Amino acid sequence: MHDGHDDHDHHHGHGHNHPHDPIEVPDGAGHYELMVHAIKELLIEKGVISADDIRKTLEFMDTRTPALGAKVVAKAWTDPAFKKRLMEDGTKAVAELGIPMGDAELIVVENTKDTHNVVVCTLCSCYPRTVLGLPPDWYKSRNYRSRVVVEPRAVLKEFGTTVPDDVTVRVHDSNADMRYLVLPMRPPGTEGWSEERLAGLVTRDCMVGVAVPKAEKVPA
């Protein structure tokens, strides 16, 4: 970088181009961060929740990962009776595996050779957090939320998922009290696999419906 900088005197900001702007950490909190702190303090002060409640909730959320959802899916693939219960009442069925839904209810939607499901929350970022952990940034982005309802096939293609023309795309707007988990199709070539090995195929994106599991990606 110093080629041609014969007169470089280490007084930056003049006379030559930097490859990037200096990295700056803004001082102080932004508006929303301050609001969060203010509301948190008020809720504690008024006795609605305690600081310990908040810490416990954060600790609990740290234990939530897509591996939980993958376990649900793999069990549904290998245990038809469980799958039946899961489709009838997702909330109750995941509770069997020790996964609580909290205040929300879980609806499981099944991909078939005729239907591909994809989940969005156009109003905010509702997501089955106790089953999949925190949502990825793209799930909360205006781009995804506004476009997947209008042009789901184009958005899915951007995720590398091409849905054949004769397959119905079924978009689920998670706009109120339900949360959604996509039950993908079990990939061919996985006959005889253990539940654990199957779970390794099931990614977060497969359970939101922007991807489908593939067997060839995972070494035996």
Interacting residue ranges for another protein, rule: CB under 8 A: 89, 91, 105, 107, 122-123, 149-153, 165-178
Q: How far is the CB of 63 from another protein (least distance, A)?
A: 26
Cβ proximity to another protein, 129 vs 197, nearer residue: 129
Cβ proximity to another protein, 151 vs 196, nearer residue: 151
Cβ proximity to another protein, 7 vs 114, nearer residue: 114
Q: How far is the CB of 128 from another protein (least distance, A)?
A: 14
* Distance from C-alpha of 46 to C-alpha of 67, rounded to nearest angstrom: 37
Secondary structure E strands in 16-136: 105-110, 115-120
Question: In 89-151, where does DSSP find H-type helix?
Answer: 90-96, 129-132, 137-140, 142-147
Q: How far is the CB of 160 from another protein (least distance, A)?
A: 18
Instruction: Name the burial class of residue 120, with classes exposed (0-12), middle (13-18) and buried (19+) by CB atoms within 10 angstroms of its CB.
Output: buried
Q: How far is the CB of 177 from another protein (least distance, A)?
A: 5
What pairs with residue 105 in β-bridges? Answer: 178
Is 121 one of the catalytic residues? yes
Cβ proximity to another protein, 172 vs 186, nearer residue: 172
Cβ proximity to another protein, 73 vs 155, nearer residue: 155
The span from the first CA to the last CA of the chain, in angstroms, equals 47
Is 126 one of the catalytic residues? yes
Q: Which long-range contacts (CB under 8 A, 24 or more apart) does 210-215 make?
A: 210/118, 210/155, 210/156, 210/159, 210/161, 211/159, 211/160, 211/161, 212/111, 212/116, 212/161, 212/184, 212/185, 212/187, 213/184, 213/185, 213/186, 213/187, 214/187, 215/187, 215/188, 215/189, 215/190
| Tokens standing for residue 30 | 């932004």
Q: How far is the CB of 141 from another protein (least distance, A)?
A: 17
Is 125 one of the catalytic residues? yes
Is 206 one of the catalytic residues? no
Question: Which of 124, 141, 146, 194 does the annotation list as catalytic?
Answer: 124
Active site (catalytic) residues: 121, 124-126
